[in-house]
Structures are given as structure tokens and as C-alpha cells.
Structure 1
Amino acid sequence: MRKVVTLGEIMMRLSTPTGERLSQTKQLSIHYGGAEANVAVSLAHFGYDSYFVSKIPSNPLGKAVEMHLNSQGVHSNFLLKSGERLGTYYLETGIGERSPQVVYDRKYSSFSSLKVKELNLDEILQGTSLFHVSGITLALSSELRELVLLAFKKAKDLGVVTSFDFNYRAKLWGQQEAAEAFKPLLPFIDICSCGELDAVYFLGIEQADQALPQEDRLSYYYHFISEKYPNIKYLTSTFRKVISSSNNKLIGNLFVDGVLYQSKVHDIEPIVDRVGGGDAFAAGILYGILEGFQPQEIISFATAASALKHTVHGDCNVFSVDEILQFTKNETGKIVR
């Protein structure tokens, strides 16, 4: 089966030109994206029949969203059209030592009003090989938390592989509320993206010895999670060292069968656009698992996909499988002729 499904909110992103603050800029560039939508786009570029489930307003902005998804090869069959508004966020682009800043304007969006009764989960998940959601969706309403839990249960009943990315956003909700929403999902998850801090603050795992190397601490947390939730077959995350807004070092991690696999270090400089880098990584992990790659191949592919995403504007990764595989083989910066 080549059908994959993601569920979440897609928003309009308004970004300042590099070197300008939101309070002073006279122009903003427009992109469309959101965690699950970005994963759907990547998987479409990887050759899957990718479906995005969401709710958008029936107005020109909603139409722009639909056109964006279709232009990237994502099916919009399950895109509901009602509600009052499209969620928006503003990105003040970082430079040098100044970090990027996000301002959300998404309250009362069409998606945040989505009700369980509006979706036919049997129809949506029928014939699906993978279903993916992130924690951002859970942050938006109690009804969406109920919907996601029902969707994961339904997916497991239908034999669908399930994926969940903690993807915590402190500007959307608090740690305690997030922990209470995440934990009921975990018994129904096959692939889980979570890091050190997620394990401590959301799962309540005792903090590892900080004197240990970072990879040993992560292995400690992943062993603990695997023992408590043996249904989770893959645990994944990244280590990101921020040198500046335009220079990051990135390492991917994948924990399978008690073993931690890591990618090489990607020294990403200059960064064109960091937004969506985590979603590109998640999609790379999902693709590698669906295709039956070996663990080392999976993490190398996913981290390379994320590194490439940092080199293009917008939320979405627009690279093909062949381009990513070629990138993993080439020396950095070498001309491909």
C-alpha cells in the first residue's frame, strides 16, 4: 500500500526579510505550512499517495492552501472547508546571534474548531499504510485530543502503522497539559519522535546523569520508554548545536531493538530557512521505515533530508529520494554534473 495520511493544521506563514524586525518591516513573504502538512508534502515527493486531513475556511486563503497542497502532489480529498479563518503565524527571521521569533495568530481558526463527528475515520484510514500526527495538533483543543486518540485506536484496529511526534510548542500550552494529552496515545504508537527533555518533562523519567555523553543519556531514556511501551518499535530525535541563526550542526538519532544509530554530523551553513527542518527529518524516518531500509540507512537518509530542507525557502522539503540519496554520497558543496 502506498497511501499515507497525516492530520493537522496548515497555516499561512508571513516572514520578514532577513535583517528586518516585525515592528519595522514594510513587506512580508507568504508561505503555507504546518508540521503534518509538511510531512505529507515530503512523502508525496518520495512517491507516496499522500493525503492531508484538515479543515480550512471556504475563502481565497483556503483556496490558496488547497492549491499549495495539490501543487506539491498532496491529495486534498479529506480537506474540510468551513469555519471562520485560516491560522496564521509571523516569523521574524533570525540572523547571526539573533534568534528567529514566532508570533502566532491562530486562535479560532477553522481547524481548531474541528469536531470528531465531522470526520469518517474508517474512510480516511482504509487502505492506509501509515498515519502521522504531531503534538501541535493536540495543543489546539480538547476535541482534537479526543479525535487523535480515536484515530490512533482506529488505525491500530485496521493494521495501520502509527507515528507521533511530540513537537512541543511552549507558546501553545503548558508542560503538564501536554503530558496529560501525550501519555494516553503512547500505547497505540509504533514510531515516536521525542528527545531528552520530552522524556523528562512529559513522561516523568528520572533525569540521567548529566556527566554522561549526550548519546548515552538518550539511550538511557529510550531504553526506559521501550520497556514501558514495547509497542513503540522506533524512537527518534535530533541533536542540534546552534552556533548562530545561520549555522547549526545536526545529528540524527534512531533507536531500534535496543541499539542507538546516529547519522554523521551535518554542518549546515548558511541556513536559508530552518522552519520545517524537523518535519523533513520525520518524513525521512517514515520513508526509510516504510521502504524497509536498514536502521543506519534510515537515519542517514532522514538527517540528510533535514539538512537539505535548511537550504530552501518555505516550510516544505521539495527534494526527491534520488536527490537526497545523491546528497548523502557527495562531498559537501561538490558540483553534481
Structure 2
Amino acid sequence: MSRVLTLGEIMLRLSTSKDSRISESKQFQVHYGGGEANVAIGLANFNHSVSFASRVPNNSLGLAVNRHLQHFGVLTHLLLLGGNRLGSYYLENGVGERASSVIYDRTSSSFAEMNVLEWSMDDLFEGVELFHVSGITPAISDSWAMMTLQLMKEAKKRKVKISFDINYRAKLWKYSKAKKVLSTLLPWVNYCSAGKLDAVHLLGIEEQSKDQDDPTYYYEQMNKIYPNIEVFYSTLREIKSASEHTLIGTIWNNNMLYTSRKHFISPIVDRVGGGDAFSAGILHGLLTKQNFDYTVSFATAASALKHTIYGDCNQFSIEEIEEFMNRKEQRILR
């Protein structure tokens, strides 16, 4: 399988039970996660050799992060030790008509405080075929916006493919700042996770009122601006309640749109990481040179399954996902 590098911040996640508010909770469930780390775990589950680069404190929480990643088969030799604290976030789980909400506590974290790249670029990219990063990383600080661009240039210099998930987070930066930074990053990208809202609000593409469920127009317009991007992909999600969604995956290449079947997800155990599971599925299909119908069907099935387990990351194998994506009816597997 392929050699992949992902880079970003991994955090301590503290979650309420579904019947509790953060302000009233006396206990929280603990997990570790972050966009790029979740993609790393997904790809490791798909038998790829995946390294995760980040910076964590040299204490018990940093050790827990290392063990979490290694438990799922991710290589951690690029996990730096330094700084004083691990970033964290609080998740208030929604239910019914009450949506989930997040409070970040990541200011001055070990990762956020980095202002120079502390890795040897030769060590970082040795043997790597694909580099994956998300828009969360350049949103953390001006330094990380600059360093993300530097990493992309280093990857391109070494003929490494670049995967980028725009992953806009309104609590981290405003549209105006994101637009400016993305305009410097997207010219270096090969594969991009971006949907209609990204196209309209971040790339300035005029919104179309017709065919709301067909993203073809937006993919075509984004490709005109950034012809270097070979593949665009995203999901179409209908939210009936916090506990019940439908999900369709889409992928676009060479003026062709491919879609998955519609998945009905109810009840949702944990939505966090569903997009990362989808990205990992798409990248797995691209790395193994599967056809686009298989790739989008596999990725969407991986995302749907992720919604059924607690935690940030996918925990399903290729065989389990393929069985699920091809299943015609629900039955006990004996």
C-alpha cells in the first residue's frame, strides 16, 4: 500500500452525554482526535503506511496521544514533544432538534505555539506519495498559515501529491481571512474536499438556485479557478434532526460527477469525524487506483459507518466497509 503523511493538531476531546449540557455536566467522556489524525487512522485501517506529524506536550497527555495513534497503526516518529499543553475541545452532544455544539480550548497549545517547522524536510517527506492537511491547520495562527504553504511547496518540490480538505471552521477564522490564505494554498493542491458553501463563501463563485443537490456547477467553477486540482469531493447531507441524517457522497474528475447511493443514518451515535472518514475513503480509492464509482461508494459507506460508533475516528476495515456498501438488507452477520 501507499506511504502517506498527514499533519495537524490532535486534541483532547471532552464530550457530554446526550442528555446533558456542558454547563451542567459533572463528568465527560474522553477521546483524542483532530481532522488530519482521523484521516491518518482511517488510512491506516485501510492498510496504508501513514505517518502523523504534530507537536504535543511531554507529559501524560502527550503519551496518551502517542498510544492512541499507535493503537490504530499510525506511525508516530514525527510526533514532536514540546510546549506546555495539549489543545482540547468540549463537545455538547445534540439530540433531536437540539444541535451539537463545540467550545475550543486550544489557545497556546503545543501545536499552536509553533512558529518554525521543527522537522527535517527530508525526514518528513521520505518515501511519501501523498501529503494530507486541512484548512484547520492554517486557521490556527498566521505562522501556521505560512508554514502550511511552506510544507506544500516542499511536497511539490518532491513530486508528492497534495490533498487538502478546506474544512472551514467559523470559530477559528472569518471568511475574509480564510479567502486570503486559501488563495495562496489551493494553487498547490491536487485533491480537494470542497462543497457548495466553500465555493460560494470562500472562492466567490456565484450561487445557483436550481439543482440544489447537484454540485457539478460548483466543481466546474472551482476547477476553472484552480485547474491544478484534479479531483473535488464532498458530501450532500440532509439533517432531519441531530439524530437522523441522510448522506450522499460525490466526487468530480475530468468534467464527470460520480455519486454514491443515499445512506439513511438513524440513530447517529457520533457525527464527529464523519467527514474525515469520507476523506480517508476517497484517498484510499485514489491511492489504490480504484474507479470513481467504487471510490465514492466506499468513502460514503465508511462515513456512514463512522456515525454509528463513539469517538472521532473510523474503526472499520476495507472488508467491513465493502460488505456494508454492497449489502442489500440488514441482517445479523453470523
User: Which interval holds the TM-score relative to the shorter structure?
Assistant: over 0.9
Tell me the residue number matched to 2:20: 20
- Measured in 1, the distance between the counterparts of 2:329 and 2:240 equals 19
Tell me the residue number matched to 2:328: 331
- Aligned 8 A contact 2:2 2:287 in 1: no
Q: Deviations over 1:26-69 (max 9, x none)?
A: 11000000000000000111001110000000111111111101
- Measured in 2, the distance between the counterparts of 1:254 and 1:332 equals 26
- Aligned 8 A contact 1:271 1:311 in 2: yes
Partner amino acid, structure 2, of 1:325 = E
SS class of match (1:207): coil
- Measured in 2, the distance between the counterparts of 1:63 and 1:115 equals 23
Residue 322 (str. 1) matches residue 324 (str. 2)? no
- Aligned 8 A contact 2:121 2:154 in 1: yes
- The 5 Å alignment of 1:265-276 reads 265-276=262-273
Tell me the residue number matched to 1:73: 73
Partner amino acid, structure 2, of 1:224 = Q
Tell me the residue number matched to 2:88: 88
Tell me the residue number matched to 2:100: 100
Q: Deviations over 1:63-112 (max 9, x none)?
A: 11111011111111111100010000001111111101101111000000
Q: CA deviation at 1:150?
A: 1.1
- The 5 Å alignment of 1:167-316 reads 167-208=167-208, 210=209, 212-216=210-214, 218-316=215-313
Q: CA deviation at 1:332?
A: 4.5
- Aligned 8 A contact 1:122 1:154 in 2: no
Structure 1 segments, 4+ long, off by >4 Å, are none
Q: Deviations over 1:285-306 (max 9, x none)?
A: 0000001011111100000000
- Aligned 8 A contact 1:116 1:146 in 2: no
Q: CA deviation at 1:117?
A: 3.7
Q: CA deviation at 1:22?
A: 0.8
- Aligned 8 A contact 2:213 2:236 in 1: no
Tell me the residue number matched to 2:3: 3
- Measured in 1, the distance between the counterparts of 2:194 and 2:54 equals 24
Tell me the residue number matched to 2:38: 38
- Aligned 8 A contact 2:243 2:267 in 1: yes
Partner amino acid, structure 1, of 2:239 = V
SS class of match (2:218): helix
Partner amino acid, structure 2, of 1:228 = I
Q: Deviations over 1:254-276 (max 9, x none)?
A: 00110111111100001010000
Partner amino acid, structure 2, of 1:192 = C
- Measured in 2, the distance between the counterparts of 1:117 and 1:193 equals 25
| Alpha carbons of structure 1 residues 332 and 161: separation in structure 2 relative to 1, 3 Å | farther
Q: CA deviation at 1:310?
A: 0.3
- Aligned 8 A contact 1:235 1:256 in 2: yes
Partner amino acid, structure 2, of 1:314 = G
- Aligned 8 A contact 2:234 2:250 in 1: yes
Q: Deviations over 1:150-192 (max 9, x none)?
A: 1111111111111000000101110010111111111111100
- Compute the RMSD of aligned alpha carbons: 1.0
Tell me the residue number matched to 1:60: 60
- Measured in 2, the distance between the counterparts of 1:62 and 1:35 equals 17
Moved more, 32-41 or 155-164: 155-164
- Measured in 1, the distance between the counterparts of 2:121 and 2:168 equals 25
Q: Deviations over 1:102-160 (max 9, x none)?
A: 01111000000123341222221121011000001111011111111111111111111
Q: CA deviation at 1:204?
A: 1.1
- Aligned 8 A contact 1:126 1:158 in 2: no
- Measured in 2, the distance between the counterparts of 1:86 and 1:317 equals 22
Tell me the residue number matched to 2:123: 123
Q: CA deviation at 1:229?
A: 1.6
- How many pairs align? 334
- Measured in 2, the distance between the counterparts of 1:270 and 1:142 equals 40
Please report the TM-score for the alignment, with normalisation by the length of structure 2: 0.98
Tell me the residue number matched to 1:145: 145
- Measured in 2, the distance between the counterparts of 1:36 and 1:270 equals 26
- Measured in 2, the distance between the counterparts of 1:296 and 1:164 equals 21
SS class of match (2:203): coil
Please report the TM-score for the alignment, with normalisation by the length of structure 1: 0.97
Partner amino acid, structure 1, of 2:220 = H
Q: CA deviation at 1:334?
A: 2.0
| Alpha carbons of structure 1 residues 96 and 151: separation in structure 2 relative to 1, 3 Å | same
Partner amino acid, structure 2, of 1:78 = L
Partner amino acid, structure 2, of 1:303 = T
Partner amino acid, structure 2, of 1:333 = Q
- Aligned 8 A contact 1:57 1:84 in 2: yes
